[in-house]
Amino acid sequence: MTIEKLAVVGAGSMGHQIAMLGALAGYETKIQDISQESLEKAEAKLVGIMEKWVRKEKISKDARDEAFARLHFTTELEEAVSSADLVIEAVVEKLDVKRQVFAKLEEHAPSHTIFATNSSTIVSSLIADATSRPEKVCNMHFFFPPLVMDCVEVVKGDHTSDETTDLAMKVCKEMNRTAVLLQKEISGFIANRILFAIQKEAMSLYEGGYADYEDIDKIVKKALKHPIGPFELMDLSGIDVGYYVMQQQYKETGDPKDRPSKTIEEKMKAGELGRKTGKGFYTYESSVKS
C-alpha cells in the first residue's frame, strides 16, 4: 500500500498546519471542519505563513502555489475522506468527541484507509474500537506549531499493525519531519510526560507562594536553558488544551495529582486561555496568528 491522498479532520491550530505539511510534501490533501468560518480562518493563516516563507526564501513561489493547488477545504466529512489513504484527526482533546469522529470516519472512508489521531495524550486503543479496523489505527502526534516543530511521535498500540506504523513513519519522513516510534502505548507519550512533570512542579511552586510565575519562567530559561518557560508555554499551547489533557489523565489514573490545578480551573472559567484570547498568565496585545 502507498499513501497518495491525505485528509485532516479539524482546521484548528494543529489541523490546518498538518494539512499544509501534507500539501507541501506532495500529497493531495483535504482539510475538513464543520465550521466554514474555521476553514476560512485556516486558509487565511496559511496564506500568511506561506507569504512569509516566500519572503524569507524558505520556499519558492512556484512550490507554494503548487502546494496550495493540492490543498482543498471542505465542511463535508464524506467529501474529505472518501478517497483518502490516510486520515489524521485533529479535533478537540476530548475522548468522546474523538470516538464520534472515528465512528463517522468508518462510515465514509475506504476499507484500506489508515486512521491516525493527533492527540497529545490519548492513546489510540481508547479510540480504535469505534471502528472495524483497529489494526489501521495509530497515534501521529505532531507538535505545536506543526510547520515549525520538527518532531512527530508515532505510537503503536497492541491493536496496530506494523504496516500501519511503517506507513505513518514514511509519511512523516515525506513531510520532512523527524518521527519517533513508540513500540507500546503510554498516556502522554514521551515529550508531554516530561513536559507535564515540569509544568506540574512549576504550578506547585507558584501556587505554594514560593515564586511568581514570571520568576519561575525566568529561572527555567536562564538556569535550565529552556527557550521558553512553563507558564509561557502553557499560554502558547492554550490553557484549555492543557486543561482537557489533565482531565483525561485524571479519568485514566484517578490520581488527584493529575487533576487540573486551581489556577488552571480559574483561568478556564475566566476565559483566559493564553495567547489566542489575548490573556493567560501573561497579557498580549493581540491574539496569536498561527
Same domain, 267 and 151: no
| Average pLDDT over the chain, rounded to an integer | 96
Q: What is the mean pLDDT of residues 46-67?
A: 98
pLDDT recorded at residue 285 = 86
Query: Is 285 a member of any domain?
Result: no
pLDDT at 80 over 70: yes
Query: Is 287 a member of any domain?
Result: no
Query: Is 86 a member of any domain?
Result: yes
Same domain, 206 and 268: yes
> If DSSP states are collapsed to H, E and C, what string results for 50-113?
HHHHHHCCCCCHHHHHHHHHHEEEECCHHHHHCCCCEEEECCCCCHHHHHHHHHHHHHHCCCCC
Same domain, 170 and 202: no
CATH of the domain at 238: 1.10.1040.10
Same domain, 69 and 154: yes
Same domain, 172 and 218: no
Same domain, 118 and 227: no
Domain hosting residue 196, numbered range:
192-277
Same domain, 161 and 265: no
Neighbour count for residue 22 (Cβ, 10 Å) = 27
Residue 249: which pLDDT band, with cuts at 50, 70 and 90?
confident
Could you tell me what percent of the chain has a pLDDT over 70?
Answer: 98
pLDDT at 288 over 60: no
Residue 232: which pLDDT band, with cuts at 50, 70 and 90?
very high
Q: Are 249 and 187 in contact (CB under 8 A)?
A: yes
Q: Are 25 and 13 in contact (CB under 8 A)?
A: no
pLDDT recorded at residue 290 = 40
> If DSSP states are collapsed to H, E and C, what string results for the chain?
CCCCEEEEECCCCCHHHHHHHHHHCCCEEEEECCCHHHHHHHHHHHHHHHHHHHHCCCCCHHHHHHHHHHEEEECCHHHHHCCCCEEEECCCCCHHHHHHHHHHHHHHCCCCCEEEECCCCCCHHHCHHHCCCHHHEEEEEECCCCCCCCCEEEECCCCCCHHHHHHHHHHHHHCCCCEEEECCCCCCCCHHHHHHHHHHHHHHHHHCCCCCHHHHHHHHHHHCCCCCCHHHHHHHHCHHHHHHHHHHHHHHHCCHHHCCCHHHHHHHHHCCCEHHHCECCCECCCCCCC
Query: Is 29 a member of any domain?
Result: yes
CATH of the domain at 66: 3.40.50.720
Measured CA to CA, the distance from residue 55 to residue 255 in angstroms comes to 49
R_g of the chain computed on alpha carbons = 19
Q: Are 123 and 187 in contact (CB under 8 A)?
A: yes
Same domain, 17 and 124: yes
> How many Cα neighbours within 13 Å face the side chain of 80?
27
Same domain, 63 and 103: yes
Same domain, 27 and 165: yes
Supply the pTM of this predicted model: 0.88
Same domain, 131 and 256: no
Last residue of a domain, one of 182, 208, 236: 182
Among the options 72, 141, 159, 226, which is catalytic? 141
pLDDT at 68 over 60: yes
Verify whether residue 141 is a known catalytic residue: yes
C-alpha cell, 134:
483497529
Query: Is 15 a member of any domain?
Result: yes
- Point out which residues pair with 71 in neighbouring strands: 29
pLDDT at 11 over 90: yes
| Count of structural domains within the chain | 2
pLDDT at 225 over 80: yes
The pLDDT tens digits of the residues spanning 84-114 come to 999 999 999 999 999 999 999 999 999 999 9
The pLDDT tens digits of the residues spanning 121-154 come to 999 999 999 999 999 999 999 999 999 999 999 9
pLDDT recorded at residue 253 = 86
C-alpha cell, 76:
463535508
Strands 152-155 and 137-142: antiparallel
Neighbour count for residue 197 (Cβ, 10 Å) = 11
Same domain, 76 and 209: no
Q: Are 138 and 158 in contact (CB under 8 A)?
A: no
pLDDT recorded at residue 252 = 83
Q: What is the mean pLDDT of residues 53-62?
A: 98
Q: What is the mean pLDDT of residues 47-70?
A: 98
